[in-house]
């Protein structure tokens, strides 16, 4: 046992000295592995970070929340020209669903409108994300308030000019003033501020609640009507906790088909999109990104591996005379083999460690530049990088090391001379 430990120690010492004595060559070999490891770990870290932040954005919604609309939130086999002929989901259909769906806990109505400008005295905020929804929206999407509240059923049904604003909108319009009870101008009319949504940070799917305003859907309906071409309507359905999602989806489908008088051989003129389906689609996209990232990074790793193999062949050539002398003095083949294997593995491991440090520094810099996006460098990815670099070194050094260990001592000394 001690003989093997001594063999490993001496082999490691020979490899380390060889690398130290050829600093430029060592640096160039390290560079190839470092770039490869940096590429693959950076890709894994970026994809993990994106996945984490997307899931965090979706966590505010129940994964079984359904969206009923004339358009689909995901891929569909229905041609675009046919989808454009579908009727919008109107307010009467929303009311009917709200009154008749047995498996729904909350049903909300939302209108998609263009961004607007809001004004308070001399302060103006332009291009504000305008969320036009019924009062049930606050029960479907988790909204936390730093001040005030969301509008109630009575205010929603009557289309009362009340408004809930995001944290950044409140700071821009009012500064240190108390926003609750203040009146801001929108759509040429004054709205009373009744709530301020708690700061949550930027969103990945468009504007976050910090830069949004919320107002009753019926106010916009009363102003623009139900058939405005520039406004799209959707119905948001939150199932009961014990509801069967497939049954509820089938129930919504049947009610809508009956309401629209669709015949058995006619396709649905609406789409029901489920958040869980969106998450599955995101998982698929993340998986594809991981695969593509691995493929791109593997080319970098191959370049690094070929670089190490090339350097090892050169090293064997340069030290042929020394190998012959060692073998003539009694050095075993495995001693020579370990020398060159250790040299290759040390190159790869050091290159991998440098690559990991570069990724770590990159994540720190990115975290400092982006306040609301969390970058993740997990121990799992670090272990992957370390393992891959070791394997690359082992594979790249095997053939040169075996060639060196099989040299005939007499021929090696003669060739070296």
Alpha-carbon 3 to chain mean position: 51
Highest mean pLDDT among 148-162, 217-231, 345-359: 148-162
User: Alpha-carbon dihedral of residues 26, 29, 32, 34, nearest 10 degrees?
Assistant: -40
> Under a CB-based contact definition with an 8 Å cutoff, are residues 103 and 240 in contact?
yes
Confidence of residue 57 (pLDDT cuts 50, 70, 90): low
Q: How far apart are CA 241 and CA 353, in angstroms?
A: 48
Give the number of other CB atoms < 10 A from CB of residue 359.
Answer: 25
Half-sphere exposure of 49 (CA within 13 A, CB side): 19
What separation in angstroms does the CA of 353 have from each of 35, 202, 356, 359, 364? 11, 33, 5, 10, 17
What separation in angstroms does the CA of 402 have from each of 201, 257, 340, 341, 412? 58, 74, 9, 9, 14
Of the chain, the end-to-end C-alpha distance in Å amounts to 36
Strand partners for 118: 125
Q: Which two tokens stand for residue 96?
A: 């009917």
pLDDT digits (tens, 9 = 90+) for 288-310: 777 776 777 677 667 767 777 77
Helices (H) and strands (E) in the chain, counts: 14, 11
Q: Which two tokens stand for residue 156?
A: 């929603």
pLDDT number for residue 242: 82
Q: How far apart are CA 231 and CA 114, in angstroms?
A: 8
Locate the domains of the chain by residue range.
Answer: 2-58+282-416, 87-269
pLDDT digits (tens, 9 = 90+) for 305-346: 777 777 777 766 666 676 677 667 666 777 777 777 777 777
> Under a CB-based contact definition with an 8 Å cutoff, are residues 309 and 396 in contact?
yes
pLDDT number for residue 224: 82
pLDDT number for residue 150: 93
Angle between helices 245-260 and 91-100 in degrees, nearest 10: 130
Percent helix, strand, coil in the chain (nearest 5)?
Answer: 60, 15, 25
**DSSP code for 162:** E
> Under a CB-based contact definition with an 8 Å cutoff, are residues 182 and 224 in contact?
no
Highest mean pLDDT among 187-196, 314-323, 345-354: 187-196
Confidence of residue 164 (pLDDT cuts 50, 70, 90): very high
Strand partners for 184: 191
Mean pLDDT of the chain: 77
Lowest mean pLDDT among 11-25, 32-46, 199-213, 312-326: 11-25
Closest CA to 182 of 159, 220, 134, 148: 148
202-208: which pairs have CB atoms within 8 A and are 24 or more residues apart? 202/371, 202/372, 202/373, 203/57, 204/53, 204/54, 204/57, 205/57, 206/129, 207/129, 208/166
Angle between helices 23-58 and 2-21 in degrees, nearest 10: 100
Q: How far apart are CA 401 and CA 382, in angstroms?
A: 28
Closest CA to 140 of 196, 60, 34, 209: 60
* Cα angle: 109, vertex 114, 118; to 5 degrees: 100
Helix (H/G/I), strand (E/B), else coil: 169: helix
């Amino acid at each position: 046992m001690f003989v093997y430990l001594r063999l490993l120690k001496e082999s490691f010492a020979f490899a380390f000295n060889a690398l130290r004595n050829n600093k430029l060559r060592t640096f160039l070999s390290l560079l190839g592995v470092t770039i490869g490891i940096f590429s693959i770990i950076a890709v894994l870290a970026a994809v993990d970070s994106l996945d984490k932040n997307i899931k965090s954005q979706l966590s505010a919604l129940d994964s079984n929340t359904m969206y009923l609309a004339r358009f689909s939130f995901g891929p569909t086999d229905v041609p675009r020209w046919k989808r454009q002929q579908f009727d919008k989901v109107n307010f009467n259909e929303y009311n009917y669903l709200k009154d008749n769906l047995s498996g729904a806990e909350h049903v909300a109505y939302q209108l998609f409108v263009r961004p607007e400008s809001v004004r308070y005295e001399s302060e103006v905020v332009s291009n504000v994300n305008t969320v036009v929804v019924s009062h049930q929206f606050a029960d479907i999407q988790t909204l936390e308030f730093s001040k005030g509240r969301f509008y109630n059923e009575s205010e929603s049904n009557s289309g009362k000019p009340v408004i809930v604003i995001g944290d950044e909108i409140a700071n821009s319009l009012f500064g240190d003033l108390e926003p609750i009870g203040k009146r801001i101008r929108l759509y040429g009319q004054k709205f009373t501020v009744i709530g301020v949504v708690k700061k949550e940070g930027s969103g990945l799917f468009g504007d976050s609640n910090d830069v949004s305003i919320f107002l009753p859907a019926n106010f916009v309906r009363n102003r623009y009507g139900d058939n405005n071409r520039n406004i799209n309507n959707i119905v948001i359905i939150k199932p009961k906790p014990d509801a069967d999602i497939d049954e509820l989806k089938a129930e919504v489908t049947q009610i809508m088909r009956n309401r629209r008088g669709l015949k058995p051989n006619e396709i649905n003129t609406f789409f029901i999109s489920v958040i869980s389906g969106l998450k599955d689609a995101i998982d698929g996209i993340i998986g594809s990104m991981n695969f593509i990232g691995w493929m791109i990074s593997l080319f970098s790793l191959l370049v690094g591996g070929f670089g190490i193999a090339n350097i090892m062949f050169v090293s064997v050539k340069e030290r042929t005379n020394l190998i012959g002398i060692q073998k003539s003095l009694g050095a075993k083949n495995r001693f020579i083999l370990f020398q060159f294997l250790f040299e290759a593995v040390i190159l790869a491991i050091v290159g991998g460690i440098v690559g990991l440090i570069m990724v770590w520094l990159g994540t720190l810099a990115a975290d400092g530049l982006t306040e609301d996006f969390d970058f993740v460098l997990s121990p799992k990815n670090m272990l992957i990088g370390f393992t891959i670099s070791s394997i690359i070194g082992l594979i790249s050094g095997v053939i040169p090391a075996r060639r060196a260990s099989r040299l005939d001592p007499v021929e090696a000394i003669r060739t070296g001379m």
